[in-house]
Each structure stands twice: as structure tokens, then as C-alpha cells.
Structure 1
Amino acid sequence: MTSGPAANRPLRVAMLSVHTSPLHQPGTGDAGGMNVYMRQLARCLAEQDADVDLFTRCGAQGQPQRVDLGPGVRVRNLVAGPRAPLAKEQLPDRLAEFSLSLLRSTDPDRNGRPYDVVHSHYWLSGQVGRIAAAHWRIPLVHTMHTLARVKNAALAEGDTPEPEHRVQGEHRVIGSADRLIANTPAEAEALRSLYGAARTDVVRPGVDLRIFHRGDGRAAARDRLGIPRHAFVPLFAGRIQPLKGPDVLLRAVVELLGMAPGLRRRLLVPVIGGLSGTGTAEPERWHKMCARMGIADVLRFGGAVPQDVLADWYRAADVVVMPSRSESFGLVALEAQACGTPVLAAAVGGLPTAVWDGVTGLLVAGHDPVDYALRLLWWAERPDLVELMGRGAVRHASGLSWERAAKETLDVYRAAREALTPRG
């Protein structure tokens, strides 16, 4: 498949993301780490001589059909249903329409293949990827990002489980994909043990070190954000939904103030991100919870922010807290560490890979608020350890670049192409 004139042109990649656009602001709605993943991966693939079209659903009137993200990278908005936002739960009924729009929007070369590989993200896109790859007779590479069976095993109280049709859809994608890309060995094991997956490669995500770095330091970042220099600042950054565990942090703050009442004078807990998932059902839930717990005076809720501003929040924090119930990798952890801030995280999913326990942060087994409070108190009383772990965090994050991730992903694409038995 790689011989002849085609071997001398850039590898052409059709990257699929039905439910969320790479152009969406991370931290809002369904946009999060996966949006960052696709943009950064596509950028670095193009820098390594690939050509990438990112296909997503047109979700608003007036959206252009094509948006250039940079040399060799384009976002292409396909019409599938109304030009308006749709909940993920509504999208399975639009997949056939999206697939037709995809096939109609591309001009095949003389071999009938407009692309060399399809790379789909999330199970909804995988359904489309199966159709496109078979039609074009090219390999399908798929990245799950999250798994229904894993999420359902770690639900917060009152949270809604993923439906059975998603579980079955994931099985179909896994059975059809020529290669699967997992973010961590833990995800690869979940794919194998829960879904019987084979042909899985582990490619750890990266961090954009052009944005996320120590910059001019904690004090300067606090001055820009209006945070007192003497404050103790545990930061939550991400989509506000039960899966991410913000309730665990709030209860930990109550426990922390019970252990050290004097800390209230300098405690500030920013929560940066937008409502998502079941968190949107009761928008005032988190504010009401803070008021009921008596901690509203130390919490500061902010919406999602651009990445350069998010980097300042990371720099300003003493520690970033990630009490997630499920996390395929946890890009927030890597971004925070690149900015010189240690991470306190649940030992779930990919977080034990993202955080080097005892060196760049601390991992907690479980979600007992007391365990998180004890570790926060330890940091509050030992600012020297915040600085020491911050230096280790920068060293750790510096080895996880998107350039490395793109190189390893290209290796997966090539392996998939070489192993593919010609179709048709």
C-alpha cells in the first residue's frame, strides 16, 4: 500500500469527531481534553508531514464549511441534522446522515481513496469511521477517550449511567478497528478485559509547552488574577460534573477547615470550568452546596477560560485537585505540572500515569474527603514542598510533548496500513 507515487506525498488523515468540535472552548459543554487532544495532535501530525482534515458536525447557523487551523490542518463542518447544538443522546440518530455527508464531501483519488487512514475519536465517531474506512478501503484507527463500562463502574451518587446502546456501539467499533490507540496501559487493559480488544497501541497524550510553562512565576500570576500572594490556593479546573468529583473537593474543604480553622483567613478555592453532563441539570447546585456547607466565602467559581489564561490559573495555584471518579488520562494534570504546580489526584484511570506519586504530586486511593483534606493541610503547612514538587512536575511534563505523541501516532497509522488486507 505504501509503494509508488503515493509514498512520496503526505499521509492524508480523515480525523472524525461527531459530537464536539475541535474549535469548541475546552471546559464547556462536552468540550474538554479530547478537543485539546485533537487540535494538538493534528497540528503536530501536520508538522511531521501529514495532511489532516478534522470532520465534525455543523452545530450553528452561519458556520463556514471549512476553517483552517494552520498549515496542513482543516476543520470541516458537515451538515447532519439541524444547524444547532444537539445533546449527545440525540446524535446516534444522526450518524447515518453524518456518514453520507462525509462521503459526499470528499473527492476520491484515482484509486478511490481520498485518505490514507481514518482516525475516529469517541464511540459516536467510531460508528462513522467504520462506514468510511470500509467504503474507502483504508484502515480505521480509533481512540475511545472514555469507556462506558469504566464510567458506569465509577458513577457518583445520582449520576446517570451510560446506556446499553453505547456499550454495544463501543463493542462494534472495537471489533472493526484495525488499530486502537489507548492513552495509558490502564486504558489498554480495560479495553482488553472489558471489551476483548486486541491490536491496541499505547500513545500517551502530550502537553503544549509553548502555553503551559512556569512563565514569570506564581506571584506574578496571582497579581494578574487578583489573588493575594499569601493565600493557600487549591484549584479545580475542568468540566463541572459529578464524574470529575467537584463534590469531593467541596467536602474536603469542609474537613480541612475543621482541622485548621485558622486557615480560612488565607484559603481560596477557585473552580474554573463550565457545567457539563448531568451537572447542567441543576445549574445552581454547586453554589447551593457551598452555601449549605458554610464554605461559600472561600470558593470562587469561574467559567471556562482560554488556554493562556488557564495557564495563569495553574501557575497561581499551590496545588491542582483532581478527585475524578474516572479519567482516561487527565490532561489537566499534565498541563498543571508543566506550569510548575503539583497535583492531588484520585488514583483512577490514567492519573497514575500522568502524576508521579510523591514526586510531582500525590495520589489518593478512593474519594474520602478526609484523605484529600489531610494532604491539602500538609501542603498548606509546607510551602517548601509545593516548590520542590513543582520543580519535579516541570521535569516530568517536559518529557511528554505533543510532537512525541504525533510521531508515535504516525507509527500506528503506518502499522495499520501495512497490515491491512486490501478490501474489495
Structure 2
Amino acid sequence: MLQRIAMLSAHTSPLEQPGDGDAGGMNVYVIELSRQLAARGIEVEIFTRATSRHQPAVHVPEPGITVHHVAAGPFEGLEKNDLPSQLCSFVRDVLRAEVENEPGHFDLVHSHYWLSGQVGTVARERWNVPLVHTMHTMAKVKNAMLAEGDAAEPIGRIRGEEEIVRLADRLIANTAEERRELIELYDADPERVAVVHPGVDVQVFSPGRQAEARRRLGVPDDAALVLFAGRIQPLKAPDVVLKAAAVMLERDPALRERLAVVVVGGASGSGLQHPTALADLGVELGLDDVVQFVPTVGQRELADWYAAASVVCVPSHNESFGLVAIEAQACGTPVVAARVGGLTTAVADGVTGVLIDGHDPADYATALHRLLTDPDLREAMSQKAVRHAEGFGWDVTADRTLAVYDQAVTTHRESLV
């Protein structure tokens, strides 16, 4: 029986608000999985890099979950690409957590993203416990699908990921597609790669309340609302949503009376270099009266935006899973998304939404316009979307993750005999 797990999330804290900076679906994943484990009586200690001198060294946000804010490098102004140079400091403080306790304090290490995986390989060796790793994104996959304006991931990251794949006791892939990529691109042992889908909080993201949500948000009852939610950066392709809106209005000028395009989120990654680029594009396309930018919001207000929307658009160049798509469907909102990565699992094409090959705004305009102007189709997809999303609860994610943990622990113990 597992008693205590070290959860490593070096470059971003699960307590940060998703949608800004480096905070996104992985943050949701780590905190929701930790909550499920804590509810099952397993103590979770999360290690993340401190980003403010005002953060307490140790914080207990909920019973059974302890967050360690590790001082590693400058508190502010450090970009993700600069973090590898600070890993030695991070490793030192993570290892100290074991030294300050009885031997065998942790039963297992679960690392998230390649930076944490590098730390996890050291902790695995020093603590003599199994390492389970979740990539979330992979350099070789991202480099094969670069968005315009994005820089390629460095060779150092690729080498680091290859090392993690070689040393981890178990790898968790979000989808069968990601499992295939780990095996084919990173030569992972198929026996050590398990598929565990991320989940959705169906208590927060729930259907049947569009009118109520629109009233709270000040959205007109008859609005044809297209929503983009997430980090504003080339990888997520929010520009495709605006360009698709312009195409729709060119084809159907009367739609302008009802069309609303709402972008919820903040600049991130390479998008920080030109934080006003998307707003500037909106002006250039003549969409000033159509587009609304909303800063990053909490989960419950985000659920309101999903519920208020007629359709949610996820045109990313790459997604390891696509939590936005599942959250939107849990709220009963169909999704138009790119046919990439985990989105092919998150969205049932032609049933709960539409998957688009490529990133041609005209193709997105066609799919969006059909959903906006065909209420019967939208309602049919809405009902099926809710049922589809119900199969992705965090309790299911936790149960399957625990099965992977048990396999890792059993194999590790057998290797010691």
C-alpha cells in the first residue's frame, strides 16, 4: 500500500492559475490527480520552483497535499528555457526532503514534464524508489509541428527526454497516439508505457445552463459565440480563430449582428515577445466589434464561458491531450479542433464536434458556421458531448494511475531481490 508520493512539477506550480505564462493543462492535471490520491489516503508532496520571495517554503493547500516551494534561481524573470541551468539547486532541495525524514519517506516519484523528469532520475537513484514519468509534451513531436513564429525545442531537451525514457520505471502517456510516439520516436519499451487519459471535474464543468451563464457574463441570448480558451501563443493558434471569423463574415455578412468571438487567456511562451499581436490582428481584420479579450479566469468562471459558448475552437498545432476540449464538452458545448495529438481522443469527430486537417482558416470557418447556424446539429452534438466527457472523470484517471504505480513498485521490488 502506497503511503507517500513525491510529485515533481519543477517549472510551474499546480497552484498557479491555468491560462497565463507556463500554467496550463499540466497544472490542472497535477493538482487534480493529487486531490484524488489524497482522498484515497495517500500523502502527496509536490515540489515546484518558487517564483516569489513571499511564497512560504512549505504550504498545505488541502489535507493530504503539501507543496514545497523550492528556491532555485531568481524568483522572477526566469524563462522556461533558462530553467535547466537551475536544476542543480532544485535537485539539492528535493533530495534534502528525504534526508530530513526517516529512510523510505517516499514510496515513489512521479515527475511531470522533462525538467522534472531530470530531477526524478536523480531522486530515483538516491532514494532507491521507482520513477513514474508523464511527458505532457515532447520536443520531437513539437519540432515536427512547429507553428509560425515558434522556435524549435533545443537538442538539450531532446537528450534529456531520451534519458528519462531510458531510466523511468514507467511512462504514462495521455493517449494511445502519445504512447506510439514514445515508442517510435524515443525507443521506449512498450511494456513500460501505459495510457492514462487526463480527466475533467464534472462537478465544475457541467451542462444545461447556457442561458444562466450568458446572463452572468453579459452575453446576449441570441449571440453566436465562438470561444477560444488557453494560453495565447503560436502553438495554440488563436490567430486561426480570428481569421476564421473574418472568413465567416465575408461569406455571411448578416452574421455580424450576432457573432461574438471571445478569447480567454493570457500571453505565454513565444507569445510574450509580442503580447498584443492577437489584438493587433483583430484590428487588422476589422473585428473590433466582434472580438472580446478576457484575462485568465478561475475554473468556475471558465466553466461559465464554456457553457455560454455556442462552440469552442481548439486549433492547436499540437496537444498532448487537450483538456479545454474535454471541459467544453462536459459543459455541453461542441468543439471544432485540429486533428492533432490528443485532440483525436478528446473529440469524437462528427459526433461531439469536428476535427479539421491542417490550419486553413477557411476550413475552420466552414465547420464553425455550420454549428453556429444549425441549432439541431448543435443540440445533437451537445448531448453526445456531455456523455463523451463523462468517461473522463478524474476518479478514473486516479484509479488507472494507481495501477501504474503498483506495477512500478512491484517491478522495482522484484529487481532488488
Q: If the length of structure 2 is used for normalisation, what is the TM-score?
A: 0.97
Alignment of 1:47 onto 2:39: yes
Cα distance in 1 for partners of 2:394, 2:66 equals 18
Cα distance in 2 for partners of 1:347, 1:389 equals 18
Amino acid corresponding to residue 116 of structure 1 in structure 2? D
Number of residues of Structure 1 aligned to a counterpart in Structure 2 = 414
What residue is the counterpart of 2:91 in the other structure?
99
What residue is the counterpart of 1:129 in the other structure?
120
Question: Deviations 1:395-424 (Å, cap 9, x if unpaired)?
Answer: 111111101100110110110011115569
Question: Deviations 1:100-153 (Å, cap 9, x if unpaired)?
Answer: 11111234765x322010000000000000000100000000000000111111
**1:14 alignment partner, SS class:** strand
What residue is the counterpart of 2:358 in the other structure?
366
Give identity over the alignment, percent: 52
Q: If the length of structure 1 is used for normalisation, what is the TM-score?
A: 0.95
Q: Which of 144, 155, 178 is the matching residue for 1:153?
A: 144
Question: Deviations 1:176-196 (Å, cap 9, x if unpaired)?
Answer: 100000000000001111111
**2:44 alignment partner, SS class:** strand
Deviation at 1:49, TM superposition (A): 2.3
Deviation at 1:11, TM superposition (A): 2.5
Cα distance in 1 for partners of 2:195, 2:100 equals 31
**1:310 alignment partner, SS class:** helix
Q: Which of 377, 381, 384 is the matching residue for 2:373?
A: 381
What residue is the counterpart of 1:140 in the other structure?
131
**2:392 alignment partner, SS class:** coil
**1:399 alignment partner, SS class:** helix
Q: Which runs of 5+ in 1 are unaligned?
A: 1-6
Question: Deviations 1:316-348 (Å, cap 9, x if unpaired)?
Answer: 000000001000000000100111101100010
Cα distance in 2 for partners of 1:244, 1:423 equals 45
Question: Deviations 1:271-319 (Å, cap 9, x if unpaired)?
Answer: 0001000111011111111111111221001111000000000000000
Deviation at 1:82, TM superposition (A): 2.6
* Partners of 1:129 and 1:140 within 8 A in 2: yes
Cα distance in 2 for partners of 1:53, 1:86 equals 24
What residue is the counterpart of 2:74 in the other structure?
82
What residue is the counterpart of 2:161 in the other structure?
170
Alignment of 1:390 onto 2:382: yes
Cα distance in 2 for partners of 1:263, 1:156 equals 30
Amino acid corresponding to residue 212 of structure 1 in structure 2? F
Deviation at 1:251, TM superposition (A): 1.2
Q: Which of 183, 189, 200 is the matching residue for 2:193?
A: 200
Alignment of 1:180 onto 2:179: no
**1:106 alignment partner, SS class:** helix
Amino acid corresponding to residue 136 of structure 1 in structure 2? W
Q: Which of 27, 34, 43 is the matching residue for 2:26?
A: 34
Runs of 4+ in 1 over 4 A off after TM superposition: 107-110, 421-424
Q: Which of 109, 113, 120 is the matching residue for 2:111?
A: 120
Using the TM superposition, name which of 376-385 and 333-342 deviates more: 376-385
Cα distance in 1 for partners of 2:55, 2:387 equals 41
**2:12 alignment partner, SS class:** coil
* Partners of 2:38 and 2:65 within 8 A in 1: yes
Q: Which of 325, 331, 335 is the matching residue for 1:333?
A: 325
What residue is the counterpart of 1:412 in the other structure?
404
Q: Which of 256, 260, 265 is the matching residue for 1:264?
A: 256
Question: Deviations 1:28-83 (Å, cap 9, x if unpaired)?
Answer: 00000000000000000111221100110111012111221322111111111233
* Partners of 2:162 and 2:186 within 8 A in 1: yes
**1:114 alignment partner, SS class:** coil
Alignment of 1:319 onto 2:303: no
Cα distance in 1 for partners of 2:101, 2:91 equals 19
Amino acid corresponding to residue 206 of structure 2 in structure 1? H
Cα distance in 2 for partners of 1:136, 1:283 equals 43
Cα distance in 2 for partners of 1:20, 1:135 equals 24
Deviation at 1:386, TM superposition (A): 1.4
Alignment of 1:214 onto 2:207: yes
Cα distance in 2 for partners of 1:210, 1:284 equals 35
Cα distance in 2 for partners of 1:410, 1:72 equals 16
Cα distance change, pair 423–104 in 1 and its aligned pair in 2 (3 A): farther
Using the TM superposition, name which of 87-96 and 121-130 deviates more: 87-96
Cα distance in 2 for partners of 1:43, 1:107 equals 26
RMSD: 1.3
Cα distance in 2 for partners of 1:154, 1:366 equals 10
What residue is the counterpart of 1:239 in the other structure?
231
**1:268 alignment partner, SS class:** strand
What residue is the counterpart of 1:279 in the other structure?
271
* Partners of 1:57 and 1:78 within 8 A in 2: yes
**2:4 alignment partner, SS class:** strand
Q: Which of 282, 306, 316 is the matching residue for 2:298?
A: 306
Deviation at 1:387, TM superposition (A): 1.7
